[in-house]
Amino acid sequence: MRRGKIKAIISTVLLVLMLIVLITGIAMYFVKGGIILGIPRYYVTTIHVWCAFILAVFAIVHFILNAKIFKSEWTSQNKKK
């Protein structure tokens, strides 16, 4: 698989996971009862935590794959000063 396609897949997975973590986090904050979005709070919490963990792993992989781009952007910004 091409490197560009892998980056696109990882970015898409990051976006989906971020939305899940965001929605479950907001729902848990505002709904204090036992049922959130029609799902027991325990399961929503579990989904939230696991998605956040997987998000962190994918974010690290994303950074590693884009380290060269990050470095070039950083050095170009420091040259302007």
Query: Looking at the domain assignment, is residue 22 inside a domain?
Result: yes
78 assigned to some structural domain = no
Q: 11-15, 61-65, 66-70: which has the minimum mean pLDDT?
A: 66-70
pTM above 0.85, yes or no: no
pLDDT for the residue 70: 83
Q: What is the 3-state secondary structure (H, E, C) of 21-66?
A: HHHHHHHHHHCCCCEECCEEHHHHHHHHHHHHHHHHHHHHHHHHHC
Rounded to whole angstroms, the Cα distance separating 78 from 81 reads 6
Is residue 74 included in any domain, yes or no?
no
Quote the domain boundaries for residue 43: 3-68
Q: Is residue 8 part of a domain?
A: yes
Domain count, the chain: 1
pLDDT of 21 higher than 60: yes
Summarize pLDDT for 68-79 with one digit per residue, the tens: 888 887 888 777
Contacts of 63 (CB under 8 A, 6+ apart): 70
